[in-house]
Amino acid sequence: MKPGTLVEYLENDRPQFALVIASRDGTVQALTPTGRRIRLSARRIAICHERTATADALAEVVRMLEAEIDALQAEIDLTLLWETAREEGDTFDLPSLAHLYFGEASALEQAALLRALLADTLYFGRRGLTFTPRTPEQVESLQTAERRRQEREAERQALRARLEQLLDAEAGELPEVPAQVLDALEAYLRQKQRSDVTQVLAEVARDRGMTTREAALEILLRTGRLDASADTFALLAGIEPTFPPEVLAAADTLAPFAPADDRTDFTHLPAFHIDDASTREIDDAFTVEPLPEGGWRIGIHLADVPYFVTSGDVLDQEAQRRGLTRYLPTGAIPMFPERLSHDLASLCPDTVRPTLSVVVTVDAQERIQDIQLIRGQIRVAHGLTYETADAILAGEVSHELAAALQVLARLSQQLTETRLAQGALLIRRPELKVQVSGDTITLKVIDPDTPARRMVSEWMILANAEAARWAAENELPMIYRVQDPPDDPELQGKKLDYDPVLLATRLRGLRRTRLSTHPQPHAGLGLEAYVQITSPIRRYADLALQRQIVAALSDAPLPYDTTRLFEVLATAEAAEREARTLEQQATRYWALVWLERHMAQTFEAVVVARRPAGYLVELQPYGLRGLLATADALAPGDRLIVRPEAVDPRRGRLRLQRA
């Protein structure tokens, strides 16, 4: 093939021009009209034009040739060619078809016909550059299929227009919507069922910068299919606040715990729990028993959920699907039905409950002498709030548990010091709790560093660490939580007050926790091994690990091998990450709604970081972050007074100005 020859080849079933530069051994080096050098197999070349060109004139020659080809293609009647070809033979190459139609087969005629055949696949089947006329039956079938496709596309476009109207129209101008469309949107929102309707909605939502779930929710609210008072965050996350009938029925058939002789009995001791006032899922309680020789026997009693829920049963499957209880400003969405989570398994006062108990024996010198894991039963005598426990510890309120609380608090401080000596990093970050009741929004900042909260947290950490030690010693298949030491060794063994600037910079070197089938240190906690089993009513991962320990203590078959256990926990971890994101979004949304109602109020803020449009600042004491647009020169850590300038709860945006 001579240099300078103009050829066409197919690329993605589209004719492309190229100018031959050189040809050797069945390979052609060529230049495209855009100046790109390519290498082609000679077999890929479909048409060789009689015209030649130079590299400089290539683009102009191709432009003129394409105009001639387009004009000739417009005159081609493929129906006539098809009818003629059916009478002449079974298969044709491109030159034969061109000769059949035009009476000659020049490169120009071949190029025009090739484009016509590629554009209309109705009359001829194609394999490479060989064409076969279809039978009348085949043509009719394809025509029918095309009509149906066009009808479906018309329906799709009509649906798209209707969905766009539903999202854009004013309240009084909403179009009528077929019930099946709303049914499909609600099924998608509640059961994550996808359909043709949601596929179209996804396109509409994307054009508006919304997620498909947000658009579905907006339409269902606008049309009145959903109550405006519904918790939109739960719906957006695909969480059904209510349980399926079969799950509720399974919970209703559960029998209350009957005291058993094969359990260690703690019912003679005044057990107590310490929780928030709104807590209904009571996972843990304490007993403090003075010993005759001095010292104490501390009981950390955890709700024995495996007593009621067997791996793989209806309740277990639903709990695994949910992953955990979600705490939203509008209320909690439990992992288990209330019959179980608020009653039978919960360590409620004045009822005997089964427990997995961690029993710690402390001598008169307040040194831990022994720790055991046992199956127990308790009767809770007192339910305390954190505020009440703090008041008792401070001596502001007299209570029969005062001495017991003092013991727990004093020993928990020693546990903290031990962990710090082993490299633990303690950061007590305040938590913003938002509660919504009707039209009332309440913001409360919870200090995690009060004596009662520190005390409870420390004993729960001890229980989890002891469960990890026991599992490792007994070679029990278990999933451990592991954290490698931080990049900055100065962060080890420190207790830090919350600092938003420090959190944004220095703490970036902290390593993420990870799951492991082997016991390894958890640097952030200062422990040799760590698992989580202390919240079995509200976290499925805790339930699974607790179930493993309870089975081993009972000499029963283990419900999980290591592989299955890892799969369960990995799924639970993913659900927890989603839940944390959901709770953060819901908390920020309702906090911003509260700010909208307090636009005139001023707040103290801390500058966290510089941004192109101003500064990222954090409102005190709420921890809410927003953008402060100012030309003033500020530095991270600076404190100033601000007020809201613009608030967009739906998008989570907060813009502030200096007061």
The fraction of the chain above a pLDDT of 70, given in percent, is 99
Q: Pull the structure tokens for residue 250.
A: 């399974």
Which residue reads 């060529």 in tokens? 30
How many angstroms separate the CA atoms of 207 and 165, rounded?
A: 13
Q: Quick count: other Cβ atoms within 10 Å of Cβ 20?
A: 21
Give the amino acid at 474.
Answer: N
- Return the axis-axis angle of helices 451-473 and 402-421, rounded to nearest 10°: 60
- Report the pLDDT value the prediction gives residue 231, as an integer from 0 to 100: 66
Q: Which segments of 524-623 does DSSP mark as H helices, in order?
A: 540-553, 562-596
Which among 236, 273, 425 has a CA at the least distance from the CA of 348? Answer: 273
| CB-based contacts of 380, cutoff 8 Å, min separation 6 | 271, 272, 273, 282, 285, 347, 348, 349, 350, 351, 353
What is the identity of the amino acid at 242?
T
- pLDDT for position 226: 81
Q: Specify the pLDDT at position 286.
A: 98
The pLDDT of residue 225: 86
**In whole angstroms, what is the distance from residue 572 CA to residue 322 CA?**
9
The amino acid at 389: A
SS3 186: helix
- Report yes or no: 420 and 495 within 8 Å, Cβ to Cβ: yes
Helix (H, G, I), strand (E, B) or coil at 289: strand
Res. 622: pLDDT tops 90: yes
Lowest-confidence segment of 206-220, 243-257, 437-451, 520-534 by average pLDDT: 206-220
The owner of tokens 């596929």 is 199
Strand 124-127 with 130-133, pairing: antiparallel
CA angle 289, 290, 291 (to 5 degrees): 110
Question: Angle formed by the axes of helices 562-596 and 540-553, to 10°?
Answer: 140
SS3 247: helix
Residue 278 has pLDDT above 80, yes or no: yes
φ, ψ of residue 272 in degrees (nearest 5):
-150, 155
**How far, in Å, CA of 265 to CA of 355, rounded?**
10
In the predicted structure, residue 459 carries a pLDDT above the cut 80: yes
In the chain, the amino acid numbered 611 is R
Distance CA 630, CA 641 (A): 13
> Taking the mean position of all CA atoms in its chain, how far away is CA 265?
43
Euclidean distance between CA atoms 266 and 289, whole angstroms: 10
Per-residue pLDDT at 291: 97
Q: Which long-range contacts (CB under 8 A, 24 or more apart) does 436-443 make?
A: 436/329, 436/330, 436/590, 441/329, 441/590, 441/593, 441/594, 441/597, 443/591, 443/594, 443/622
User: Would you state the pLDDT for residue 560?
Assistant: 95
For residue 523, pLDDT over 90 is answered with yes
Let me know: does 302 contact 533? Beta carbons within 8 Å: yes
Angle at 165 between CA 160 and CA 168, to 5 degrees: 125
Which tokens hold the place of 318?
A: 């639903």
Interval 98-135: pLDDT, tens? 999 999 899 999 999 999 999 988 999 999 999 999 99
Q: What is the pLDDT of residue 228?
A: 64
Contact 182, 226 (CB under 8 A): no
Q: Determine how many CB atoms are found less than 10 A away from the CB of residue 43.
A: 9
Q: Which residues pair with 297 in a beta bridge?
A: 289, 361
Residue 29 near residue 23 (C-beta atoms within 8 A) = yes
Q: Are 558 and 548 in contact (CB under 8 A)?
A: yes
Residue 258 confidence (pLDDT): 94
Cα separation values, 656 from 145, 429, 471, Å: 58, 23, 52
Query: Nearest CA to 595 among 537, 521, 528, 646?
Result: 646
Query: What pLDDT sits at residue 229?
Result: 60
Confidence band of 233 (pLDDT split at 50, 70, 90): confident
Residue 201 has a pLDDT of: 95
Domain locations in the chain as residue ranges:
5-137, 148-230, 245-586, 598-658
Please give the full DSSP string across 309-333, using - where no structure is assigned. Answer: --TTSHHHHHHHHH-B-EEETTEEE
Contact by Cβ (8 Å): 189, 216: yes
Write down the pLDDT at residue 51: 84
Task: Quote the pLDDT of residue 222.
Answer: 87
Chain-centroid distance, C-alpha 409? 38
Q: Tell me which DSSP letter residue 307 carries.
A: G
The amino acid sitting at 525 is L
Instruction: Please state, in angstroms and rounded to a whole number, the distance separating the CA atoms of residues 113 and 426.
Output: 77
What CATH class has 598-658? mainly beta
Nearby residues of 149 by Cβ (< 8 Å), 6 or more positions away: none
Residue 477's nearest CA partner among 559, 574, 576, 371 is 559
Q: What proportion of the chain, given as a percentage, has pLDDT over 90?
A: 78
Name the band, by pLDDT with cuts 50, 70 and 90, for residue 230: low
List CB contacts of 564: < 8 A, sequence separation 6 or more: none
Mean pLDDT score, 624-631: 93
Structure tokens at 414: 């020693």
Which of 158, 169, 171, 147 has the alpha carbon at shortest distance from 200?
A: 158
Per the CB < 8 A criterion, the answer to whether 147 and 154 are in contact is: no
- The mean pLDDT value of the chain amounts to 93
Contact between 630 and 440 under an 8 Å Cβ cutoff? The reply is no
Residue 404 has a pLDDT of 97
Q: What does the pLDDT look like over 552-608, one tens digit per residue?
A: 999 999 999 999 999 998 888 888 888 888 899 899 999 999 999 999 999 999 999
- 242 backbone φψ class: left, alpha, beta (φ>0; ψ -120 to 50): beta
Query: How do 480-482 and 431-437 pair as beta strands?
Result: unpaired
Question: What are the pLDDT digits (tens) for 170-197?
Answer: 867 788 888 999 999 988 887 778 899 9
Length of the chain: 659
**Residues 343-367: what's their mean pLDDT?**
96
Neighbour tally for 77: CB within 10 Å = 11
CA–CA distance, 428 with 497 (Å, rounded to integer):
6
CA distances in angstroms from 417 to 453, 456, 526, listed in the order given: 16, 15, 10
- CA–CA gap between residue 505 and residue 509 (Å, rounded): 9
8 A C-beta contact, residue 38 and residue 30: yes
